[in-house]
Structure 1
Amino acid sequence: MLRKEVSVISYSIDVRKKVKEYFDEKQKKAIEEAQERRNEVYLRVPAVAEIDDALAKTGLKVYAEALKKGNPVPLEERIEALHEENRELQSARADILKEAGYSADYTKPRYECKKCNDTGYVGIDPCECLIKALRRESYLNSGLGSMLADQSFDNFDISLYPEKSRKMMEFILLQTKQYAEDFGKEDCDKNIMFYGGTGLGKTHLSTAVAKKLIDRGFYVVYDTALNIMHTFERERFSKIDVPVTTDKYFECDLLIIDDLGSEFANSFTHATLYNILNTRLCADKGTIISTNLSSIDAMRKAYDERIVSRVVGSYRSFGFVGEDIRLRTRKQNVSGNK
């Protein structure tokens, strides 16, 4: 069953691990650089080192006062006196630094994020910078690369389609947006198939869905059918040990299989495809299939009945119509440059 809500833990383990390493390194660098500046100041202004030593001892003094018994002065007054001593030391430290040409915070770590000090968390809540980093790493990890920047719902241009097919494409766009909004809900459509000729926007809408879901915290993997089959073949038939990289096709929340039908068809690829589709259906995980096959009948001719029955029975299908919008755009650009 898919998640209804998303959080930091909803990102893949690999993504979270890389982002944690990134934050750990940022924080470590800021602290090390602060220590270098502190050492510099200690050499030039020894009085600052003496004050820092005194400040470090105030915490121990507070603890010691709390343990003392029989003192006629109330504990609150003794603690406040120590706090006042601390404030005076801080003020003196700032004055000495200023006289030496330094800012009061010169020796403090310079974190990139002032809200979380590069920890990624404000209290127990994830900081905005952590969410952005998780999204950025998820973009890189998805397999979509630069397509995520170039292809979105906002720049899917319906006007590029001929008038006779525009209403159908408007309907597909609306339904795809709804799919991206509803993904993760209990009763949503989890699997869809885009079919139709080349250059009709199937990959564009698949990418738009991927971006939306990654931004919501879902684990998305995109790959072509050809690459997926090559990955499984290499893992299965290689004469040397190769790292297992096929787990992602089963574990991700949404798998986008692009260009189905481009892979070399044999018993192994058919068995592999069936295993992927069936395993994901049993696990209640979402899948988008994009294919240049023109119809379900064409799919029946290319694949065995087990695969077709899974798609027909469990996928909502959308047939893309019109002219190749990439060629249409290219022609318009050429005409506009004349």
Structure 2
Amino acid sequence: MAFALRKRGPSEFERAADGSMTLMEHIRELRNRLFRASLAIMVGFGFGIWLAGPVRHLLSKPYCDLPQAIDPATGQCKFVQLGVADLFLLNLKIGLWVGLIIAAPVWLYQLWAFIAPGLHRHERRYAYIFTALAAPLFAAGAVLAFFVTTKGLEFLLDISGPDIATTLEVTRYISFVTNLILLFGVAFEFPLVALMLNFVGLVSARKLLSWWRVAIFVFFAFSAVVTPTPDPFGMTALAICLSALYFGAVGIAFLNDRRKGRGKEVYSGLGDDEVSPLELDDEPVAAGSRVDFSGPIEAPAPVAAPAPIERRYDDMT
């Protein structure tokens, strides 16, 4: 039973957190985590290649649901392929994106496990909260992008008229849809940036609320640039969603400030360019007691000469 009494040593996380790991051990840990993340991405890439066809059909649905996209001769939705290997390369690209999404829990955990020992406990807690909010927000932006793509394509194809036959090139269309999904998903992360600034104490909720006019203008300008069509529908939908998320983030920031007691400081109600008030005290200052001079310092005692060294021993013994 001697093996049951063996004391368990500190884990890699504890050794990395307290700084006891050497530089080579950190490099070795980074190598191992990169290998695990790469292996997970390769496995996800294999599943992504298998799912490339259904994903491509799903991304083609906004265009294929329109009556202009149906071929009157065959009754099917068709795209144009300009190069011989365009569809093959497109499936590889879709498989890579799908593989990154499937393997995201593994490579995100490996990244987090390497960074987390260098953070404080409250910083790790904030990272958990922001990560849990980032994924649903990105998914909501992707759904909105899919909806805006349908309306935008309908508007663009109606402009061409019945005398022009429109057939889209498959790689350019898929790139258009995926880029729009990426832009909308990243745009929905803007409120998290405002919350992060508030949680670390850089910006107060009152200051965030005072920027609402600038924020709404920036949201509408950003929406006008990234939406694919000149019609106001997609731009307004994205801008309204971003504005609602911003005001929701400001409300959470107010709750956080109230929890931490911010805004109750002595000079919290003053502006940056306002002079702080000074209290005028008219009471006279009474004279203090007289301080006498200190006496002279006595001379130090003479230092005795050192004893002779015993020659039988050297300096070490």
TM class, shorter-chain normalised? under 0.3
TM-score, with length taken from structure 2: 0.24
More strand by share: 1
More helix by share: 2
- Rg: which structure is higher? 2
